[in-house]
Structure 1
Amino acid sequence: MKKSFFKNYSLAEVKVREATSNDPWGPSSSILSEIAELTENVVLFTEIMAMLWKRMNDHGKNWRHVYKALIVLEYIIKKGSERVAQQCKENIFAINTLKDFRFVDDNGKDQGVNVREKSKHIVALLKNDTQLKSERSCVLKTNETSAQSSHGLGSDRKKNKTETGSSSSASPTSNGAYHIPTAGSRGTQVNQPTSTTSQQSTIAGVLHATHEPKSFNETPAASSSQQPVKVTSVVTSTPVMSSAFGPQIEMSENDFCMLKSIVSNYYDRHGCLIMLKVLFADLVRKHKLDSVTSTMDLLNALAASGDVSHDDITILYDTINLTGHLALQSEIRKQFQLFPDVKQRLVTRFTKYRQKIMQFGMGIGEQDVVKIDGYYNNPVMKYESSWKMVYDLEYRQIIKENKIKEFIALLNDLNLPWAAELLE
């Protein structure tokens, strides 16, 4: 069983990780088709794209992650939701940078050539609207379409089963995946592990648009999000208190100050202050939100109001969970080894409305912001980000819990049904 299944990933994230694994064969036509279909759901679309961008940001010996992510991306550009192509056009620079991708393996082979060629092809497709429209039309008319490229993935996996043959072309296995023959292993077929498809998707009211993929070297987490995290065989001076929602770290005032510093430095480094202002809008007074200039200011304001303290850091768990910055956990665990997996915990300190606002801020794109800005502002505000817009519209009470249905109706009138769905 693949390691993804031991993690608390959603079904969409698992599919993408399976399709972009380090296995020496290309993604199967069936899983590509499944991923393409999932992009029609706005929530799953966000999860899929976030995972693909993370995979494309990999490097070195994980070059297959990058190459396979491009294979998946090309497929869903052609056969998935139209939002895929729209987001790719908005972030075309990220794909274009891969034209310089380099990795030479131990045998001196340049494995980066496939990445470079695939990225150039996708960029050219995105820049040619006529060709893109034609490609999508052709794909939709074809019953069996394989948009994957199955060359250059190499093989460094132990062979379990051999089949004599002289052809060097990629051949499909029983489940539709492709084995990639390489020099020295021509005609050799590797058994494909049976993929698990029964995992249920659990979307706990939050999009992980910036979800960091976890290292394969991490200890597997419990598979059920309803079970408390079990922390065992880890030596640390920081004791843990149990709670109905998972373990609580018991820490001194000095430890608490250190934790605030780690959290503050991380979020400030990633430019998340305005997003955190939106998240804490129900807990910190507006005049205080306007005056804070760092995450530490926000954390101190929460401490002053009793929302966080050395003996109750629940709100920090919820903050990491809702903002999707799970990489922050790794930084915290360097100092506090028993810091729990926030995805194993229920969100308790933020209302369902606030959680939906966070979904909305993470899920809408640049063009969505432009449309909404143009409707409400004359002259337009030219918001720097979706968070700037949400913060402003909440302040003006355009976005408000008891008026949210009116705002949703407006989004539908602006032909932004995916944005409306995030708030429903």
Structure 2
Amino acid sequence: MELTANHIWVMVSAALVLLMTPGLAFFYGGMARAKAAVNMMMMSFVSVALVGVVWVLWGYSMSSGEGIAQLFGNPLASAGMTDLLGTETLISAGYGATFAIIAVALISGAIADRTRFSSWSLFVPLWVTAVYCPMAYMVWGGGLLTEEGFIGQTFGAAIDFAGGTVVHISAGVAALVLALILGKRHGFSNSPFHRAHSVPFVMLGAAVLWFGWFGFNGGAASSAEEAGLIWINTLAAPAAAMIGWLVTERIRDGRPTSVGAASGVVAGLVAITPACASVSPVGALGLGLVAGVAAALAVGLKYRLGFDDSLDVVGVHLAAGLVGTIALGFIALPDGGEGGGLFYGGGFAQLAAQLVAVVVAIIFTAVPTALIGLTIHRTVGFRVSHEHEITGVDLAEHAESAYDFAPDDDYAETSTRGDDKARLPV
């Protein structure tokens, strides 16, 4: 079969999405403490390796093909992908793998500074198998939430073009569950706990994420017209969300921050993910603005409610994912002049479908995540010891550190004053 422009675009998009996970590593690594930066980045990198293996062996099969009870595909149908050799399906299979990788990597930010690397490496393949693959099948593979599925036929099919429920709501719910299982970091209190140790890393990570997101949203575009709309919306929503977040910071805290700007971008990207092909550019601006404000406010809930979501996965991905998914019930454009959101005269049908999809995603993610997390926590242990958390998980888990502070004359002088620890950001 001849290689077409569409094939090439999907392959390029897959490469862009794959780049997002190293971008996430920089984003999370910069936000973590200096003594946990290596561990934080490794949790993203190892997700690429583990999910890559799972996807080839059984993950792709579970997310596509003939379903079992409309929940997941037959794991043995395309095991090893040997039956796909010589077909163009391998291209879309590779594209799908990158979504699974970034989805599970997102969860890691909620448990920064205190996670055993071996336990995380066990959690990744289990979660992708039990949660991500079934969710992908139910939303995109012909399962329960599609037009052919039982829930879709009963309540209407939800719109999720690029992963509002499959990636962001599921990752946000899983992050909350793991944060509750592992408990709070030592010294966590109901006030801002610590600042990002490397703001440049955070900004770099956000930039790479935004760049890769054009492939994340645009890779499945079916026409030039749709691709153009997706591109503009993927620019507009995070731009407006950044402004919304910065204004919220300015009013609430007195000053806007660089980390807030980066987080606002991510919140806008999350919100536009399910809606990128279904809202107008003006709708994308409004959606981004609301998502930026909502996420900026949501990140403070961990202090009020007392759960330690280290890097605000719940506040950004779950909150903005909910905003983007539910908003489609109001601002989705009519399809061929029919349907659409409430604001376009489409009635409550689409809103009902979006709400049902959200409920299903939350329940279906929370229960198996809790089972997996608790099993690991009570057997091999999910959290490092108190001593290792204090000294730093980088040294304890990897015998490495992100920074090597060479003893120079200035350092020797400060050491004699007993304030050398100020040289190392935590």
Task: Pick the TM interval, shorter chain.
Answer: under 0.3
TM-score normalised by the chain length of structure 1: 0.28
The structure carrying a bigger helix percent of its residues is 2
Instruction: State the structure with more CA Rg.
Output: 1
TM-score (ref. length: structure 2): 0.27
